[in-house]
Amino acid sequence: MPEIPEMLLRYLAARDAERDDHVNRALAALSDRERALVREAAVMGYVHGTLRGPRTEIDFPKDSAIVWQVIDACRAHPDLYPTISALTNANQEGGDA
C-alpha cells in the first residue's frame, strides 16, 4: 500500500481542526437551554433516522458525537440550515452571527 504524503496528512489535520473550531464556535454561541434543545433534537433525529434502516444491532455514538456531526452537516449546507450555520461564525474575530 502506498504511503500517504506528509503534506496531505497535514492538510487533512488542518481541515479537521478547522471543522472542530466551527462546531465549537456554534456550541459556544448557544445558551445552556439552546444547547440542550439542539442536543435533544439532533440525537432524536439521528436515532429515528437510524432506526428506519435494517433492524440489526445498532451501536449509537455518544450524544456529543451526534451533535458534532449534525452541526458540521448544517455548516456544509448553509442555505438549508441557516440558523445553525450562522452560529459557526459566532464569536469569530470581527464576525457577526
pLDDT of residue 49: 86
Spatial separation of the C-alpha atoms in residues 51 and 68, rounded to whole Å? 20
Q: Which amino acid is at 67?
A: V
Q: Are 71 and 19 in contact (CB under 8 A)?
A: no
Return the closest-CA partner of residue 91 out of 34, 24, 33: 24
Banded model confidence at residue 95, pLDDT cuts 50, 70, 90: very low
Task: Give this prediction's pTM.
Answer: 0.75
Q: Are 67 and 42 in contact (CB under 8 A)?
A: yes
Which tens digits make up the pLDDT trace of 10-60? 999 999 999 999 999 999 999 999 999 999 999 999 988 888 877 777 788
Delimit the domains of the chain by residue range. Answer: 6-87
